[in-house]
Amino acid sequence: MTEITKEIVAEHGLTEGEYDEVLKILGRTPNLTELGIFSVMWSEHCSYKSSKKWLKTLPTEAPWVICGPGENAGVIDIGDGQAAIFKMESHNHPSFIEPYQGAATGVGGIMRDVFTMGARPIANMNALRFGRPDHPKTGHLVSGVVAGIAGYGNCMGVPTVGGETNFHSSYDGNILVNAMTVGLAETDNIFYSAAAGVGNPVVYVGSKTGRDGIHGATMASAEFDDDSEEKRPTVQVGDPFTEKLLLEACLELMATDAIVAIQDMGAAGLTSSSFEMADKGGVGIELNLDHVPMREEGMTPYEIMLSESQERMLMVLKPGREEEARRIFEKWELDFSVIGKVTDTGRMILTMNGEVAADLPVAPLADAAPEYDRPWTKTEPPAVIRGEDVAAPNDLGEVLLTLMGSSEIASRRWIWEQYDHMVMGDTIQRPGGDAAVVRVHGTQKALAITTDCTPRYCYADPETGGAQAVAEAWRNITATGGQPLAITDCMNFGNPQRPEIMGQFVGCIDGMRAACTALDFPVISGNVSLYNETNGTGIYPTPAIGGVGLLTDYAKMTTLAFKEAEDVVVLIGDLTGEMGQSLYLAEIEGREEGAPPAVDLEKERKHGDYVREMIEKGLVTAAHDISDGGLGVALAEMAIAGNIGAEITLETPLPLHAALFAEDQACYVLTVKPDDVEMLRGFALAEDIPLHIIGTIGHTDLKIDGALTISVSRLKEVHAKWLPALMSRPGSE
């Protein structure tokens, strides 16, 4: 038996104080298997020990929320007895070490979270962050991650319908790969994870257990150093073809009434799935590890419990239903094994080779997981930078072309063309717009789905940045005509033991809470990824937001593309000309400075509700919110999408470069038929909405105030070429 030394405890990521708590819970020294179980269950990745205190402050309820945080995924009611089930998760550390497999298994894991609850996945999204474009690893990482996402999602036959991709030096040593899945289920057939029924069989289904991914959860709870590539053995290896079989087998069994509880084996594998099921049900579980299907010889209890091999599920079945379930899984050529039973002891007892390998109390291990109130310092907001404080450029046209061809604005077509975004035949708004829109098959309903975050705002002022991330997700759904309903989040931050980093987390949560409350946009699921650092250098705080909304009639959906010549271009909201943290400042002047644009949540709600109402009335022919790059970029994107120009006149006291490139919030660009302008204006006056008529659509150029004339073809050319050029560099394969 391995002696448990201080060194072994430290290798398992437990502090001296945490280990003392282990000794107190057990009343004895743990064996190595038991120590490993405590290690993964109390890891940051599984226990949320640094973030729980703050996550609890987020709003999680609304009349349409069926299930909020705490299950595999969140559930909302979308009417007609149907539910949307969705979640976003991180796979950052594995994707940096092994980009293809790390990203692929991230997609596989989030899909399992969704179909575990009885939903058929209908859409995947992702939020990706890479280092600076000229970093020697960036091309290789982009190539591997995109291929991994495509390889897994395409094989599963689930469309990847959109997302976002950023490049910044803060991610040089620690990229972010956040994957989101949305599924559909019947409201009366949703499955949960609480084990119940003393004597009920506990069954293992799916792939065999191997030695891949051992201590993956622990690895994901530590920062990187120069030797991180040596952690490849902790990266799981996925098989989408097996997952497709597992999906169909699970859904087939779910059509019966045989399942009491179900949980996928994600981070920490059999350990977390069994303990979470037992804890939620207030029961004990006995497992005979000899019965676990294994693909490698001589596996120890430690390895079996900590393996993160993919495509596996743990279920509790009703008594006597084992053979019915076995027939289904064996038909789909998957392993099926009864490995244990539910007990009333409140303990997890593991046996192997006729011996007790572990005997642990369930509740104390789960409930006594550390919850830290870590010291934090507030990020002091920088000074506001106004348009008049920023020198006007010599050529506004060159500025717009530079922004359209920059790493943050350039087309992501190279990425999304590798994804099958049309499989299943229900994608009705493709990648490249404000939000993807996917039809609820066989109905007039559709779901609008988006991922959003502006990390540079969060770094400069976490509270404003957190609020803006939620508000932009809300705007993007609104711009399609969808009613925003709920969000999932993926909280990506550096080392929480550094007060300034913990302060970023607290600030972002505060901003998110305010925005979610003001916009009736609750958080129903999510994930926290901390220790995203290399050699003490952390990423920009990145609270990625995945938003879902509902269109009751997709025939009324809007897109951002300019449609018809003579349509009138309208600005909703007021331009303020605040230039802090703008792409203009970064790309044109080489400065990342100043306060991010102010977020007025009352205006966000008011303006967004008005836009949605006008879309519902059929008065809007195109809609696009203002975000990165400001009004100028928004107009260019609409012209490119519609392949038609516009003539714009801005009657503003602001310097023209500030009016065009400040990233003002709560603003939308709409187009409307000439005959409907007065009706639109009348509704705006009645509701006290700022509405400015700024131009008309037509011809082949984008013209602005006589100061800028660029052909749409030139805009398209510049917008399209940056990413293919990056990926054609040597080393990007």
45 counts as catalytic: yes
Residue 379 confidence (pLDDT) above 90: yes
Where helices occur in 534-676 by DSSP H, the ranges are 583-589, 601-616, 630-642, 656-661
In this prediction, what percent of the chain has a pLDDT beyond 90?
91
The first and second tokens of residue 509, run together, are 């949560």
Distance from chain centroid for Cα 122 = 16
Q: CB burial class (10 A; 0-12, 13-18, 19+) of residue 688?
A: exposed
Share of the chain above pLDDT 70, in %: 97
First-to-last alpha carbon distance for the chain, in angstroms, is 47
Q: Is the pLDDT of residue 235 over 80?
A: no
pLDDT in tens, 456-498: 999 999 999 999 999 999 999 999 999 999 999 999 999 999 9
DSSP single-letter state for residue 58:
S
Average pLDDT over residues 569-596: 97
Measured distance CA(530)–CA(218) in Å, rounded: 11
Whether pLDDT at 583 is above 50? yes
pLDDT of residue 364: 86
pLDDT tens digits, 550-569: 999 999 999 999 999 999 99
Confidence class of residue 730 from pLDDT cuts 50, 70 and 90? confident
For residue 48, give the 3-state DSSP assignment. coil
Q: Which of 12, 91, 168, 657 is catalytic?
A: 91
Residues 247-298 have pLDDT tens digits of: 999 999 999 999 999 999 987 889 999 999 999 999 999 999 999 999 999 9
Q: How confident is the model at residue 225 (pLDDT cuts 50, 70, 90)?
A: low
The pLDDT value given to residue 475:
98
Rounded CA-CA distance 43/63 in Å is 34
pLDDT score of 1: 65
368 pLDDT more than 90: no
pLDDT at 61 over 50: yes
Instruction: Write the CB contacts of 717 (distance below 8 Å, at least 6 apart in sequence).
Output: none
Q: How many CA atoms lie within 13 A of 654 on its CB side?
A: 20
Mean pLDDT computed over 569-592: 97
Q: How confident is the model at residue 231 (pLDDT cuts 50, 70, 90)?
A: very low
| 723 and 413 Cβ atoms separated by less than 8 Å | yes
pLDDT tens per residue across span 514-533: 999 999 999 999 999 999 99
The span from the CA of 510 to the CA of 503, in Å, is 10
Q: State pLDDT tens for residues 410-453.
A: 999 999 999 999 999 999 998 999 999 999 999 999 999 999 99
What are the backbone dihedrals phi and psi of residue 176, each rounded to the nearest 5 degrees, phi first? -120, 130
**pLDDT tens for residues 97-140?**
999 999 999 999 999 999 999 999 999 999 999 999 999 999 99
Q: In which residue are the tokens 């226990």 written?
A: 47
In the block, which residue shows the tokens 């705006």?
684
Query: 732 — phi, psi (to 5°)?
Result: -95, 10
Q: Given the DSSP bridges, would you call strands 312-317 and 259-264 parallel, antiparallel or unpaired?
A: antiparallel
Cα–Cα distance measured from residue 362 to residue 544, given in angstroms and rounded to the nearest whole number: 33
For 307-327, write each residue's pLDDT tens digit: 989 999 999 999 999 999 999
Pairing of strands 436-439, 446-452: antiparallel
Rounded distance, CA 454 to CA 599, Å? 13
Full-model pTM:
0.96
User: Residue 344 pLDDT > 60, yes or no?
Assistant: yes
Residue 226: pLDDT over 60 = no
| Averaged pLDDT score across all residues of the chain | 95
pLDDT at 574: 96
What pLDDT does residue 417 have? 94
Q: For residue 709, how many C-alpha atoms fall within 13 Å in the half-sphere facing its CB? A: 4
For position 582, what pLDDT does the model report? 98
pLDDT at 227 over 80: no
pLDDT in tens, 382-420: 999 999 999 999 999 999 999 999 999 999 999 999 999
Residue 367 clears pLDDT 80, i.e. is over it: no
What is the per-residue pLDDT across 617-660, written as a single tens digit (0 to 9) for each?
Answer: 999 999 999 999 999 999 999 999 999 999 999 989 999 999 99
Q: Decide: 423 and 154 in contact? Cβ < 8 Å.
A: yes
- Out of 45, 421, 607, 657, which one is annotated catalytic? 45
Question: Averaged over 164-181, what is the pLDDT?
Answer: 97
**Residue range 662-708, pLDDT digits in tens:** 999 999 999 999 999 999 999 999 999 999 999 999 999 999 999 99
The answer to whether residues 121 and 183 touch, using CB atoms and an 8 Å cutoff, is: yes
Look at residue 224 and tell me whether its pLDDT is greater than 60.
no
**Contact present, 491 and 178 (Cβ < 8 Å):** no
For residue 211, the model assigns a pLDDT of 87
